[in-house]
Each structure stands twice: as structure tokens, then as C-alpha cells.
Structure 1
Amino acid sequence: MRVPRTCAALLVLMTAVSCTAAHGDDAKPGAPAPVLPAFQRLLPAPERARAAAPGTGYRLEPGTVIRAGSASSGETREAAERLAEQLRASSGYSLMVVDGDQANGILLRIDEDAAELGDEGYELTSNAAAVTLTARTPAGLFYAVQTLRQLVPAAGGGIVQGGTITDRPRFAYRGAMLDVARHFFPVGQAKRYVDQLAQYKVNKLHVHLSDDQGWRLAIDSWPRLAEYGGATEVGTGPGGYWSKEEYRSLVTYAAERHVEVVPEIDMPGHTNAALASYAELNCDGKAPKRYTGIRVGFSSLCMTEQKKEVTYRFIDEVLGELAELTPGPYLHIGGDEAHSTGAADYAAFMDQAQKTVAKYGKTAVAWHQLAAARPADGTVLQYWGTAATSAAEKGRVADAAKSGHPLILSPADRLYLDMKYDLTTGPGLTWAGYVPVKKAYDWDPGGYLGGAGVPESAVLGVEAPLWTETIATRADLEFMAFPRVLGLAELGWAPKGAHDWTAYRQRLAEQGPRLDAQGVTFYRAPDVPWS
């Protein structure tokens, strides 16, 4: 699931970032960042970057053409058109897109024989004649384009630094989660988040579609879930839900940017919106009131012998419709904080939920509490513990990992984007402590659970969840996500040898003008020397 890399490659990268680190040693918190060479500004850091002599790069000019290759596929042409659109906006140049592989201009090419680049890797070369982007897959070509976007001067013209970048991700799964259940956000906001994430090589969007406070996706076989259960949210807001067409449009939009949507229906707890919508899902046959608070752990689907049949039919029909809407491989079935479900009932319920996911040809993902029950073969566990999580709980997760269950790491005291930065932060919670930008970045996913016996080979990747109990506006959403989600992107993609806070904060500072230009409301961490 991970791409191995050689010691030589790491040494090249470490040499490349050493100058950055030297600048950072002398920089004072809050002081303007020094101007860094373009290859040293990239975020996430590439696996290998060899810069040519100054002034030997490619000059982007009004007559520059973007070439989609002589044997271009539709996806190559699409990548070329999108790059042209993005560069036109900043430069004002016409930037025609043409077929052909002549060695001038900006050339995008797929080389299916470039096995060393893997599924998402690429090579970028820049010289006086051309910039050439090569990948084995369309995803790799897309990520090459994202790197080129960072190398093009902010004004859109000028010289793309000469040299060669060869790059692949450290982890296959690089995700962010958006909770639309506690506070509802329209599909347009989710698409905006996709754009923001994809440019930093994040490749998964986990959407939390149901919880006690609201059900956010239309389900034909259980229409009151959205119509009634979706009409509330935390506080007094009106809630809302996505139609199937809107969800499909998000899946398509994300796929065009090589982001997979991972939908979550949280079960058997976190289900008050469903229980309020259908009385028959309750053990006593009585629907509770809809809920607009933020307490957790009080709701549960019914698992008595008399109700088990309707409960299992419910999960079969809901997950069946969700699977039909979702081309990606994963369905997330929650499984956390089911405090009102007995241990035996919990295990039986999760057994059935995992069988149902497999029935529809998908891979189940569940929060790591499933490790205390019976994870089915192939189920992925998402770990959200903290430094204070007990050794026994970590041990269960480690046992599951040793049994072949891949792990997604989302430690709450590192990657929960709804935790406050500090005492002055307006939105957010503090149950996992404050999570400043440095803390969110300064840890190693590969060794995080090593003390519990989890090898790096068991780590599928990392994900930064953004829960929305206290987040109701786009401005607050972006303020809490940025810049910490960029640390997530770095941890997921960059080689371990590039991990260095002093160097990273300089590169992070270089992203400030880019985020400003995109209208992103972000937290200006005082220990980052923003440009």
C-alpha cells in the first residue's frame, strides 16, 4: 500500500531542504519568510528534487503552448485543458492546447511503461526549451500539474526553475473528512473543499452523512430519513440534505480531480435522526424527538430479536443505495461511541453491517472501536485515539493491524481540525486539547503506534476529520482546516526524510499568498513566518 524509497532519494531531498532549515533557524516567529528557491517552496515536499543552475529554466510567455502528447488520451487532454485554464487566469496569456510531443512548450505525457513512478508518481523536468510532465497514470499526471502550478511565479509569467523532480507519495490514503451532519453544508461547499485539497495531493474526501443531529442524503427506500431527519442541525438551524443527483455530482467532480469520496453512515450509535424518522427502528416502537445538542453516545439502533429483522433490512437498503451511488471502493459504517449498545449486540450488528458492505462489492471502513469486536477480513480501521488512549485499546488496534487490517490514522490530538488552535480560537472544541499548527504536523504516522506494535506497513494513510458541532459557516470551516490540513497533505505524501518543522514552516509560509489569492480564510499561526 506504500511506495518504498531508496536511501539515496532521501539524501537528495534532505540536501534540498537543508538550506530551508538553515534559514528557519535564524527566523523569529512572525517574521517575514525569506525568499526560497522554487523547488524548496513545494508543499508537500517531493521525493527527489534536483535543481539546475539558476536561470536555466523554462520561461512562460504569451506564445507558450501546452501539448497533450501525440498519443494523448481524453484524460491527458483534460489535464492539459485544466492546466491552461488555471495558468490563463493568473498570467493573462492565451496558452493554446494542442496535440503533439515536440520538445517545446509544456508537454503532458502518459508513459504506461514508467513502472517506477507507481500509481500516483510523476517526473517533472524543466529546461530552457520545455517543461515536460510524465506519469504512468492520469492521477500521476494530475499531481505533476499541481506541482507545476506551485513552480509558476505568482504573477503567472516568468521562469519555471530548471531541474528535475521525481515524486511519489509515502502513503496511498491521504484524506480529509467533512462532517455535514452536525451542521449542514451544501454540495457546493464540499466541491470547494475538494478543489482546496486536491491541489495539495489529498486524494480522499470522507463525508460524514448521518448523526444524531441530521441525516444528509436522500434514500429512496426510507424517504423520511432526509425529509424529516434532515430538517434539523445543532442549534436552531434548518438543516438540509443532499439529493442523489447532488451527491452524484460531488462524486463526479471529485473524481475529475482524482479524489475519491468515502461516504459514512454512522451506526449503530449516532442514529437519533434515523430513530426520530422511523418509529419501527426503536425497541419500544416510539420515535424520539429530533436532537439539536452535541451530546454523544445516547442513541442506538435496536437489536432485540423482535426488531433485528427491520434493523438489518434498514442497513441493507441504505448501504445498498449508497453503494450504487459510490464508485469508489469504500463505505464507512461508523461504529464509534455506541455506548447505548451492549457489547454482544454491537458485535452482532457490526458483523451484519460488514457482511452487507461486502455484499455490495465494497470494502468496509469503521472507527477503531470495531477492534474490540470482530473486524471482518479486509475491513479498514480508522484510529482516532490520543496520547491518553489506554494501552489496552491501542493493543486491540495493534492486534487487528497484525491480523491484516489496514489502519487510517486520525489521532484526535493531532489531526482533528475541530480542536481549537489555542485559548483565543473562537470556534472549535477542546476535549482532545489544543492543536496548534506545529502539533498537527510534528509527528510521524509510520511510527505513531509503533510502541503498541503497529508496523508502518500496516498504515494505509492519514486523514484529518473536521467535525462541525461548532462550525456553521464557510469562514469558520476554512479557518479551522487551514493551514493544518496542509500538514496532513505533507504527512501523507512527503518522504519521512523531509519531515522537519523548521523547514516545513518556511514552506508553509510560502502558501499564504496562494491561499489569500483563492479567498481562503486561514489561521495565521504566530510561529509561521508568513510571506
Structure 2
Amino acid sequence: MGALVGAALLVAAGIGALGTAPATAAPDGATPLGRIVPAPAKVTPGGSAYEITAKTRIRVDDASKDARRIGGYLADVLRPSTGYRLPVTDDDAGDGIRLELSAKDKALGAEGYRLTSTGRSVTIVAHAPAGLFHGVQTLRQQLPAKAESDSRQSGPWLVAGGTVEDSPRYGYRSAMLDVSRHFFSVDKVKRYIDQLALYKINKLHLHLSDDQGWRIAIDSWPRLATYGGSTQVGGGAGGHYTKAQYKDIVRYAASRYLEVVPEIDMPSHTNAALASYAELNCDGVAPPLYTGTEVGFSSLCVNKQVTYDFVDDVVRELAALTPGKYLHIGGDEAHSTSHEDYVTFMNRVQPIVAKYGKTVVGWHQLTEATPIKGALAQYWGLDGTSAAEKAQVAAAAKNGTGLVISPADRTYLDMKYTKDTPLGLAWAGYVEVQRSYDWDPGNYLPGAPAAAVKGVEAPMWSETLSESAQVEYMAFPRLPGVAELGWSPAATHDWNTYKVRLAEQAPRWDALGIAYYKSPQVPWNG
């Protein structure tokens, strides 16, 4: 989407024009090494900058299909703006950009990389393909923002000299997109994936079912998608993904080294399913489709065997479509389900997920039952969540349940920035940019062992959002901060230095046509 299109959509939503801000240039014209988002683990600047020219080649080991594919991705990013051919070659002689997978560099781990820039070349070394891809994202941010343009721009295209050695703090760095309240097309999801990849996010949590819509085709229960997916908040047409479309999203995410984590929310948030099949209701009567925004009123019938036949079928088909490790079973806001029934349901459903080879993820209410071995609880509580509820989650963490931290009043990207934000909700309070960044996932939940924290997530609920520009306006500039909390060492987390690096991202968003909120807390240079 171009900037003008994004601006038009925001104007239609009552939002002003896109923000702009020129980057602060280093004395030699290059972005200072490591002044990127997320902040790298270790930066050693020095030496001459490398300049990409018409003679530059992207050099890879021909034996590695992954390196060649990542080299092609980099070339596709840079060819429109530079106007250069940037051939991807296995010819190792000469200068250029080198992408190298190294079996001996085990210390870099599954996602780490080392980028070395000299006057003659830029070399990115990684132990695994994901690390090579993340190193390419660092290279992108070291180049001028106009490198992201889809039309030819003037250079020079400089990469500051020195070495970046980098690997993530957490292995689980996620963003969620709610496609249930409003349906988002495959192309819109892919656009968001590209934006997540730039900031080294490695999980895409897709919220595929809720009261307002069921968004994935299930062959054994076809009315879930064709009827349950036929509407959305406000009564629009809704929609769903065919299995082929879902697999296309999964493949595209994998090409950007994001793992799709699908969510089927249950036992509550299930009106779309209950409306589609009367037998899933305790009274055998299907309720009407729902297009409002209330929560907690629906529940699968815990005491019927057909409920578990339904869950088994859905999990089986979804697991077969999803090569990733995780499957999210929701579990929050089950206000119409008794505590006893909730425990019964969750303790019966978790083994079904395990049976089909997936690791259970659930909202932190899962800890009201008995989390299965290896399960992850996603904590979304607020600063004001009761001490008892926090203690319950912490106790589960002490007993081996992993935690994904996503406090609603810190990381929920659909929360309004201020009372004047024209989109979003405010039930968790107003969440300005500093509040979304200025906290530590490792010690956020009292009593939970730091080792239990597996990562962070930035959820985007869509009650008020239906277009990419609206999603972007709520995600930017908060999403990069959550990404930094997940990737960068805790010692690098400092609002005063981060906000300067964040401001320098704005020209890149402009070049990419990304809509964003020009927060007064950030020192934009324009």
C-alpha cells in the first residue's frame, strides 16, 4: 500500500496524515552501526563504510538453498530503490554482500547472526537460516530509509563499518492478529507479516475463531466457515480462509521466518460455532449469529460428547495444516462456564492437542485447570489484576508452565493511545508509546521465575479495525518496542535512548507506506 492510499484510509477513519521524520545521519552519511530496532546485543563500530554500487553482488554458497533464497529476498528489497541488478551468485571472488551459513558458529544459536561491514564487503554469518534472515533485517535498517522505496532513489547506499554480534533474549516473540472480529484477506495478513519480520518477530498468532466469526475451513464441520464465518462486527460480509489460503499464509510466514500459531478460542468466544451447529449447544438450539462486541456470554456444552468430537475434528484438521509447534486453545473470559465445567473442559481438550503433535498455548486462565506438561500460559493481566490471580499464574510457572507475557495495558496494540485516538478500545486504559516499552517481561509477574518466561506478544484485537492502515496506525510505533523487549538484552532497555532510535524509523515507515501515530512522546524530526 502506498503512503497516499494509507493516508486516505486513515482520513476515512478520522485519523490525520502519516507522520514523517528524517533520520539523524552519521558524519560519513551512514546510519551509525547498531542504531536500529531492536537494539543488537553487541556492536563494535570501526573502519570504513561499505557502499552498495552497481557492481555489488550478493554472494551465497550454492549448496545452501536457504542462503540463496534469503539472498533473493534481499535483492528484491533493494533492486527497486537502488536500480542495481544485485545478482545472487555463488561466485565467491570479489567484493559484495556475503550471506554465509556456518556449521561451526554454534554459539549464534537458531536465530543469531554476525554482521561485519568493511570498505570491501558486508558479510552476514549465521548458524541457521533464521539468523541469516534476521541479519538481513539489520542490514536493511543500516541502509538509508529510502532503500525501502518501490521506485528508484539516489544513493549513496552506505553501511557503517564494524561488527554486530546479535542473538535474541527470548525465543518466543509474537504478534497476534484477530481476524475474527473483522476478517482480513490473505494479502492484508501477508502485509502485516512483512512488517513483523522487519523487527525480528518470529511468531504470528492468528485468532481464527470468536463469537463474531469462524475463519478457517474445517471439512468435517463445513458450516463453521460457510455460515459461522459469514459475518463480522457491525454486520459486514465476513469471510474465511480456505485450507489452501491458510497454507499460503503459513508458507509466506515461514519464508519470513515466522511460525504461525493458530487459535481456536474455547469454551467461550464460540457463538459462531454454536450458531453453525445446534448440537453444540446444551439445549440443542442454535443462537443467531452475533455482530456485537460483548464477551463472555457463549459456551460450548461441556457435558456433551459431541463437544469433544467437534474439538478433536477441528484440532486434527488444523494441526495437519500447521507445521509449527504450537496450537492455541484460548480459554479466557469463560464467564458462562462454571469453574468446575471449565476445569473439566480444559483437562479433556489439552490431551487432544497433544495427540495431534502440538504444544498447548492458552490464555493465562488455563492455569485455573491443570496445564499439561510443556504448555504455555499467555498472561494478559493488567497492573491492577488481583494478587490472587497473579499468584495462581506464578504458581503454575513454578511448576513448569512456560509464560508468554502480554499485559493488556502494555502490549495490546488495539488500546487507544490517548482519549483522542479515533480507533481502538480503552478497557485496559490508555497505552502511550513509553508505557508499551518501559517495562521488563522478565520480572513483570510477581513470583514467577524468570526462567519460566519464554517470550512476549503484542496482540491486535480488531473490534474497531478493518483495514491495513488502521492496523498499522495502532501497531506503529508501539510494535517495534515490544519486539525490542523480546529480542534485545535487558541491559539495553532504556526509554531515553530507545525513543531516539524509534524516531529514526519514521522515514522507513514512510517509504514502506506504513501508517503510524505521531506520538508527542517521541522526538520526531519533522
Q: What range describes the TM-score normalised by the shorter chain of this pair?
A: over 0.9
Tell me how far 1:60 sits from its aligned partner: 1.1
Tell me how far 1:255 sits from its aligned partner: 0.3
Tell me how far 1:75 sits from its aligned partner: 0.6
Q: Pairwise mapping of residues 238-277 of structure 1 onto structure 2 (< 5 A)? A: 238-277=237-276
Task: Please give the secondary structure, in 2, of the residue aligned with 1:266.
Answer: coil
Task: Please give the secondary structure, in 2, of the residue aligned with 1:235.
Answer: helix
Equivalent in the alignment of 1:189: 188
Q: How many residues align?
A: 494
Letter matched to residue 480 of structure 2: L
1:66 aligns with 2:58: yes
Letter matched to residue 381 of structure 1: A
Letter matched to residue 467 of structure 2: T
1:152 aligns with 2:143: yes
Equivalent in the alignment of 1:475: 469
Tell whether the 8 Å contact from 2:175 to 2:459 is kept in structure 1 after alignment.
Answer: yes
Tell whether the 8 Å contact from 1:251 to 1:326 is kept in structure 2 after alignment.
Answer: yes
1:52 aligns with 2:46: yes
Tell whether the 8 Å contact from 2:23 to 2:505 is kept in structure 1 after alignment.
Answer: no
Tell me how far 1:258 sits from its aligned partner: 0.2
Of 79, 83, 102, the residue aligned with 2:74 is 83
Residues 422-456 of structure 1 show CA distances to partners (whole Å, capped at 9, x for unaligned) of: 0110011111000001100010111111xx21122
Tell me how far 1:40 sits from its aligned partner: 4.3
Residues 280-338 of structure 1 show CA distances to partners (whole Å, capped at 9, x for unaligned) of: 0011110011111111111000023xx2x100100000000000000000000000011
Of 80, 87, 90, the residue aligned with 1:99 is 90
Residues 59-96 of structure 1 show CA distances to partners (whole Å, capped at 9, x for unaligned) of: 11111111013x53101100111111111122111111
Using the size of structure 2 for normalisation, the TM-score is 0.92
1:498 aligns with 2:492: yes
Q: Pairwise mapping of residues 300-311 of structure 1 onto structure 2 (< 5 A)? A: 300-304=299-303, 307=304, 309-311=305-307
Letter matched to residue 529 of structure 1: P
Distance 2:392 2:255 in 1: 38
Distance 1:174 1:31 in 2: 27
Q: Which moved more, 1:314-323 or 1:83-92?
A: 83-92
Q: Pairwise mapping of residues 288-299 of structure 1 onto structure 2 (< 5 A)? A: 288-299=287-298
Q: Pairwise mapping of residues 136-151 of structure 1 onto structure 2 (< 5 A)? A: 136-151=127-142
Tell whether the 8 Å contact from 1:31 to 1:529 is kept in structure 2 after alignment.
Answer: no
Equivalent in the alignment of 1:420: 416
1:433 aligns with 2:433: no
Q: Pairwise mapping of residues 169-248 of structure 1 onto structure 2 (< 5 A)? A: 169-248=168-247
Equivalent in the alignment of 2:317: 321
Task: Please give the secondary structure, in 1, of the residue aligned with 2:33.
Answer: helix
Tell me how far 1:155 sits from its aligned partner: 4.5
Task: Please give the secondary structure, in 2, of the residue aligned with 1:218.
Answer: coil
Equivalent in the alignment of 1:131: 122
Equivalent in the alignment of 1:446: 442
Distance 2:21 2:117 in 1: 32
Distance 1:458 1:33 in 2: 38
1:466 aligns with 2:460: yes
Tell whether the 8 Å contact from 2:21 to 2:504 is kept in structure 1 after alignment.
Answer: no
Q: Which runs of 5+ in 2 are unaligned?
A: 1-19, 148-155
Letter matched to residue 393 of structure 1: E
Distance 1:469 1:207 in 2: 15
Task: Please give the secondary structure, in 2, of the residue aligned with 1:38.
Answer: coil
Q: Which moved more, 1:158-167 or 1:411-420?
A: 158-167
Of 106, 110, 133, the residue aligned with 1:115 is 106
Of 321, 328, 333, the residue aligned with 1:332 is 328
Residues 2-56 of structure 1 show CA distances to partners (whole Å, capped at 9, x for unaligned) of: xxxxxxxxxxxxxxxxxxxxxxxxxxxx997744542242110000011104xx1
Tell whether the 8 Å contact from 1:90 to 1:154 is kept in structure 2 after alignment.
Answer: no
Equivalent in the alignment of 1:7: none
Letter matched to residue 413 of structure 2: L
Q: Which moved more, 1:86-95 or 1:243-252?
A: 86-95
Distance 2:213 2:514 in 1: 27
Identity of aligned residues (%): 59
Of 361, 366, 373, the residue aligned with 1:370 is 366
Equivalent in the alignment of 1:19: none
Runs of at least 4 residues of structure 1 off by over 6 A?
A: 30-33
Task: Please give the secondary structure, in 2, of the residue aligned with 1:206.
Answer: strand
Tell whether the 8 Å contact from 1:58 to 1:162 is kept in structure 2 after alignment.
Answer: yes
Distance 1:422 1:85 in 2: 38
Tell whether the 8 Å contact from 1:419 to 1:430 is kept in structure 2 after alignment.
Answer: yes
| Change in CA separation of 1:233 and 1:155 when aligned onto 2, cut-off 3 Å | closer
Task: Please give the secondary structure, in 1, of the residue aligned with 2:69.
Answer: helix
Q: Which moved more, 1:411-420 or 1:480-489?
A: 480-489
Tell me how far 1:351 sits from its aligned partner: 1.0
1:489 aligns with 2:483: yes
Tell whether the 8 Å contact from 1:57 to 1:161 is kept in structure 2 after alignment.
Answer: yes
Tell whether the 8 Å contact from 2:54 to 2:85 is kept in structure 1 after alignment.
Answer: yes
Equivalent in the alignment of 2:451: 457
Distance 1:99 1:401 in 2: 48
Using the size of structure 1 for normalisation, the TM-score is 0.91
Task: Please give the secondary structure, in 2, of the residue aligned with 1:322.
Answer: helix
| Change in CA separation of 1:318 and 1:58 when aligned onto 2, cut-off 3 Å | same
Tell whether the 8 Å contact from 2:23 to 2:507 is kept in structure 1 after alignment.
Answer: no
Tell me how far 1:154 sits from its aligned partner: 3.4
Tell whether the 8 Å contact from 1:32 to 1:529 is kept in structure 2 after alignment.
Answer: no
Q: CA RMSD in A?
A: 1.3
Equivalent in the alignment of 1:510: 504
| Change in CA separation of 1:228 and 1:166 when aligned onto 2, cut-off 3 Å | same
Distance 2:518 2:204 in 1: 25
Q: Which runs of 5+ in 1 are unaligned?
A: 1-29
Task: Please give the secondary structure, in 2, of the residue aligned with 1:431.
Answer: coil
Equivalent in the alignment of 1:17: none
Tell me how far 1:102 sits from its aligned partner: 3.3
